[in-house]
Amino acid sequence: MFVMVLLTFFIGCIAVKTRFASVTNGEVRLQYYKLMEGVDVPEFVTKTSRCFNNQFEVPVLFYVVCSLYVGLGIESMVGVVFAWGFALLRVAHACIHLTYNRVLHRMLVFWAAFICVMVLWVNLLLLQI
């Protein structure tokens, strides 16, 4: 889970830096950030903002299931492998998103990570039966 926290923090720092730079260099007026609408913004501002927001969508399922494993005292090699798989795939997803942003690559990595988190949930349920 800490890898995901670090990833979220890192992407958040990039997003903030990008927003400050967009205002400083005159590409975006500060007023835009009040509601985040009404103006065309540079692609990198949009990419970093969306990548940051993505860290609060599917990863929430990951945080919950991992917390349940810990809270219930469940030790599972399947859980460990798929948790690392999820975290590493999310790092790859963010790297793709923030660099060359090829949709097919991003989508494949997204779905692989999504499957990892679903395996975590199914494994948790099977261990509780």
Q: pLDDT tens-digit profile of 63-89? A: 999 999 999 999 999 999 999 999 999
Mean pLDDT across the stretch 56-65? 98
Domains in the chain: ranges and CATH: 2-128 (1.20.120.550)
Contact criterion met (CB below 8 Å) for 93 and 110: yes
Contact criterion met (CB below 8 Å) for 50 and 14: no
Query: Coil, helix or strand for 72?
Result: coil
- Percent of the chain predicted with pLDDT > 70: 100
Q: pLDDT band for 129, please (50, 70, 90 cuts).
A: confident
pTM of the model: 0.92
Contact criterion met (CB below 8 Å) for 94 and 9: no
Give the per-residue pLDDT at 19: 93
What's the chain's length in residues? Answer: 129
Q: Which long-range contacts (CB under 8 A, 24 or more apart) does 91-95 make?
A: 91/3, 91/7, 93/54, 94/7, 94/11, 94/51, 94/54, 94/55
